[in-house]
Chains A and B, each alone.
Chain A
Amino acid sequence: MATARLKRNFNTGSTMHEIADTVNDYTRLFEETMHSSGAHATETLRHHRYSALKRFRALGFPERGDEAWKYTNVQSILQQRFNPAPATVPVPPELTAIEALAEHRLVFVNGIYSPALSTPPQQIPGLKVTSLFNYLQQNTPDIASAHGNDISNGFQALNGAFVSGGCVIELEAGIRLDGSLELLFFTGDNTLALMSNPRNLILLGEASQCTLIERYIGLPQARYLDNPVNQIQLAQGAQLTHVRIKQPSNRGFYIGHSTAKLAAHSRYAQYGYTFGGLLSRDDSHIEFSGPGASAEMRGLALLSERQHADTHIRIDHHATDCTSRQSFRNIVDQHSRAVFTGRVVIHHGAQRSDASQACHALLLSRQAEADSRPQLEIYADNVKCAHGATTGYLDQDALFYLCSRGIPHAQAEQLLIEAFAKEQLGAVAEIPMLSVYLERLMTRNRH
């Protein structure tokens, strides 16, 4: 374990009293909205929501002393009350300016699907995209369990109770999609403090393959809570490239939760990019259920001001011969703070597991802070595991080298920062529109 702490008052956490008040307020809100949102509240959905509320009341919110939330204090979220968005929301002008990163795009405004803004894929053989509510009407899937006992924290439960929509992407066995699918979540209102609770199911059949771009953009200056949940299932030999771009507003909160269940020989690659946001927390839970599967988790956070981003990964090696790779980079400027926790659990019998995790943080100011916690738990005897973490400032010798070529100091710093960030593009560099977009965000000048 490597932890770099420079200077920060100790996390004060939230009191039980505050948590109980907040939970009660959301319970009241739940009862009110359950009555008013009767339109698409089918029996199944109603059942899911009630059971999620029950979990929510039992779990509450992460409190002081909760190890998984050690460096992230959610008190600022609890001090506010967020409302589900009204069903009819005017399209914010900011939204129309956001370019699409893929030919097919589903747009959600405040967590609610917007058919007018979307260009869903049509008649692509083997691909089925359904709204979550329609899907739940037609299916009683085992994924319903995610509304019950699989829920590990209060935010996930809150999502279940207030679920605002989402989509279900099903890819049939053997289908390989060319190009990418984009899910764009735009959240925020100039007057109301809104919460968005989308839930997406990504179900890939045997040996199918696709690239999914999931993007969260906040209305600048808006106060809101983005609280999405993803459930991903990869059947044997399936391959998913999952790009996740988070651009919360400077007053916006993002709390995301993704689980991925990986069958034998499937491959999951997640590329996560966080740009700004008052407070963001992203949990990913990967489970290897069959042998020979692999997961590559890459991430980058670019923070300044008083922004805070927390990435929390848990990877469970339940099967033999699986490979997990984690590579994260955090760039923190001014008073910002980045937290990385990567936990790998190699369960009994998961022989020949191969796990590595690396987190590198670049501090751009003396007040910025980066915490890296690579964690390994190993219950099998024939495994290969490695972890490493570094935290440091810009390389002064490299700066001197660049300046000695006549490059102004600020520009030399910028070059080095971009270089550090762009290493995290990985295979995404091969996706034309997307890589251009990300590079532009990475080259945004400081201050």
Chain B
Amino acid sequence: MLSIENLHGGIEDKGILHGIDLAIEAGTVHAIMGPNGSGKSTLAHILAGHPGYTVTAGRIRYDGSDLLALSVEERARAGLFLAFQYPLEIPGVSNINLLKTALNARRRAQGEEELDALEFIELVESRMALVNMEQELLYRSVNEGFSGGEKKRNEVLQMAVLEPRLAILDETDSGLDIDALKTVAEGVNQLRSPERAFLLITHYQRLLEYIRPDHVHILHGGRIVRSGDYTLAIELEKHGYSAIEAEFQHGQHHA
């Protein structure tokens, strides 16, 4: 579904990623872990197409086409979704308006009819149950005055309504208490399907206790330095990044 080859890039002229290779198949859950500054969020933003990030080398294929040639909205309409680490507050745009506009834009792009008001509300209500969200939040401005947990749940709600094929969750666990974390994880788990892939970006192994990944990658210095299964996350939790770093630097030294 997604293949990243030798990706180099960063913010403006500051290089952050130095050769990422990653392949994600439909139906799988990948986790990328790594310390601050390792390039996790940069990778997420480049995938989503943030204009502030630049790609200097490498390529990204998504469903066989060149992802980097697509605009932000084209990527989204092709089924890519980024759950933001810091969801934006947009005063004056109601949550429900955002959901409806986004869903109908996608349906139009796919040659489907727009949902009428009733169909739409039914869909949203069924998805809200997934993330245990208060109805009242639908009619408020997007994320305005939401608590940290509400913002993250709102990201998962958008994901549930838009039904992406590849969902990237950028530190969705940060700032969540344990109950909110469980709710968010449950929401994600219910969206797992053979057609859908997930890329979880996280600092901590905790989220992975609730959303069990098929593959775990460790990002360091803009490269994936190790890949493995879920046990890699447990190992990382036990020994910390410093052990991995030491090993990596040691390995590099001998290379």
Contacts and interface: CB of A to CB of B under 8 A. Distances in A.
A45 interface: no
Contacts of B77: 406
A347 interface: no
Nearest to A401: B88
A269 interface: no
B76 A405 contact: yes
B49 to A, nearest CB: 7
A251 interface: no
Given A405-B98, A407-B101, A407-B102, A398 B76 contact: no
Interface residues of A, number: 22
B84 interface: yes
Interface of B: 48-52, 71-73, 75-77, 81-82, 84, 87-88, 90-93, 97-98, 101-102, 105-106, 109, 141, 158, 162
B144 to A, nearest CB: 10
Contacts of B88: 397-398, 401
Interface stretch (A115-123, A270-278, A332-340, A408-416): A408-416
20 contacts: A398-B90, A400-B50, A400-B72, A401-B88, A401-B90, A402-B98, A404-B49, A404-B75, A405-B81, A405-B98, A406-B76, A406-B102, A406-B162, A407-B76, A407-B105, A408-B105, A412-B73, A415-B97, A418-B92, A419-B90
Given A400-B50, A400-B51, A400-B72, A405 B90 contact: no
B101 A411 contact: yes
Interface in A387-429: 396-398, 400-409, 411-412, 415-416, 418-420, 422-423
Given A396-B51, A400-B51, A415-B97, A405 B92 contact: no
Nearest to A409: B73
A418 B77 CA distance: 23
A423 B92 CA distance: 7
A401 B73 CA distance: 10
B106 A406 contact: yes
Given A404-B75, A415-B97, A419-B90, 9 more contacts: A396-B51, A401-B84, A401-B87, A401-B88, A402-B98, A404-B76, A406-B76, A416-B92, A418-B93
Contacts of A411: 101, 105
Given A408-B105, A415-B97, A403 B71 contact: yes
B90 A416 contact: yes
Interface of A: 396-398, 400-409, 411-412, 415-416, 418-420, 422-423
A405 B162 contact: yes
Given A411-B101, A415-B97, A415-B101, A403 B91 contact: no
B158 A416 contact: no
Contacts of A416: 90, 92-93
B72 A403 contact: yes
Contact of B92 (A402, A404, A420): A420
Contacts of B109: 406
* Residue with the highest number of chain B CB atoms closer than 10 Å, among A403, A409, A412, A418: A403
Contacts of A422: 92
Sorted nearest first, the 9 A-B pairs with minimum C-beta distance are: A419-B92, A406-B76, A405-B102, A403-B72, A403-B73, A401-B88, A406-B77, A406-B106, A419-B93
A124 to B, nearest CB: 36
Nearest to A410: B73
B69 to A, nearest CB: 16
Contacts of B48: 400, 404
A136 to B, nearest CB: 46
Contacts of B91: 419, 423
B73 A407 contact: yes
Nearest to B49: A404
B127 to A, nearest CB: 14
Contacts of A418: 92-93
Contacts of B75: 404
A406 B93 CA distance: 16
Contacts of A406: 73, 76-77, 102, 105-106, 109, 162
Contacts of B158: 405
Nearest to A425: B92
A411 B91 CA distance: 16
Contacts of A403: 49, 71-73, 76
A20 B76 CA distance: 63
A36 to B, nearest CB: 53
A420 B91 CA distance: 8
A409 B105 CA distance: 11
A184 to B, nearest CB: 29
A183 B50 CA distance: 49
A401 B93 CA distance: 12
Nearest to B84: A401
Contacts of A415: 93, 97-98, 101
Contacts of B102: 402, 405-407
Contacts of B84: 401
A401 B170 CA distance: 14
A301 B122 CA distance: 38
Contacts of A408: 73, 105
A361 B116 CA distance: 35
Contacts of B82: 404
Contacts of B71: 403, 409
A409 B101 CA distance: 12
A418 B98 CA distance: 13
B15 to A, nearest CB: 21
A415 B92 CA distance: 9
* Residue with the highest number of chain A CB atoms closer than 10 Å, among B84, B92, B102: B92
Contacts of A402: 90, 93, 98, 102
* Residue with the highest number of chain B CB atoms closer than 10 Å, among A396, A401, A423: A401
A303 B88 CA distance: 28
